[in-house]
Amino acid sequence: MGRKRGRDIDGWLILDKPLGPTSTDMVNRLRWAFDAKKAGHGGTLDPLASGVLPIAFGKATRTIPYIMDATKRYRFTLTFGESRTTDDLEGEVLATSPNRPTDDQIRAVLPALTGDVMQVPPVFSALRVGGERAYDMARAGRPPELPPRPARIDSITLVERPDADTAVFDVQSGKGVYMRSLARDIALACGTVGHISVLRRTKCGPFDLSHALTIDQISLDKSTQTVDKADALPAPLLDAATALVDIPALAVTDAEGRMLVWGQSIDPADLVHPLPVSSQGEDHLWRAMIGEHVLGLCHVRHGRLRAARMLENHEFFGEHDVDYRRTPHGTDF
């Protein structure tokens, strides 16, 4: 019988994505390089965008939703005077304008674009419209009408004006915000048109450029591996639980941890380390920990503490662990 495809590898690789390839291209390339059974990425970057692209292997893929929802930071250059089909350099010119805003005019429009806003996504995006990708429809000459979507933009800062035609911004935002749309909207609010000419993500959840490796820093050539290093990883990985460090920790005992891993619920009043009364709401997530080890995430549902997403399973507690599915103590009321 042949060996199963790929090996079990757990952890995060933070890539400083180069310009050109898609995020999926980079995941596929690194999955091959690491010979990993399972891989995915936390937050798409356009081909013409660079910067922090978190790539998850194995157990870390279970935490991707929390990276997708996490706060992100970007730096982009807005070029005034031309709107484009893609809202970036890749597209064809749609319209032109001779108007160039002053710094004060730019700063004056930013408050209205900050906070909880409604944003129209770029036509060239991966959103589905009637089962088709918007970018496929646009490339076929059938650009869809995309409705505005809720977006959260925490801050927009004008960093510098290299010249009258360009402006550089730092942005902090939540999930699903399109920087291309934001650049387009800043230009329109200033009475002109524009597009993104440079885009770089500098932070994604707990990961920033200090964690990131360039593709040149990762050993991708398997032919250079020696026999004694055949199992060595092309680059070191961060622990799978690193993605969860911004979520408050909850210390649990071995018995409580076993119950959560087995899918059983616990009365919060019975916890050895009680939840703060102010944090027992249904939407509050906790990082369940035994000592320094993260078991996964839990939350209160219907008045009881339950697993939300576990990184560990029953094997963590050993082969001779009690089966909490069959004991009265583990009965789920």
Q: Catalytic residue positions? A: 46
Measured CA to CA, the distance from residue 280 to residue 268 in angstroms comes to 8
CA distances from 303 to 269, 300, 314, 330 (A): 10, 6, 24, 16
Torsion of CA 198, 203, 209, 210, to 10 degrees: 160
Q: Which of 192, 134, 145, 201 is nearest to 167 (CA)?
A: 192
Q: Which of 250, 323, 236 is nearest to 286 (CA)?
A: 250
The answer to whether the beta carbons of residues 53 and 208 sit under 8 Å apart is no
Structure tokens at 232: 């060595």
309-322 residues labelled b (16+ CB within 10 A) or e (exposed) = ebbbebeebeeeee
* Pairing mode of beta strands 49-57, 194-204: parallel
Residue with tokens 């035609």: 165
Q: Which of 110, 114, 149 is nearest to 129 (CA)?
A: 149
Q: At residue 69, what is the residue type?
A: D
Structure tokens at 286: 């906790």
Torsion of CA 293, 299, 300, 302, to 10 degrees: -130
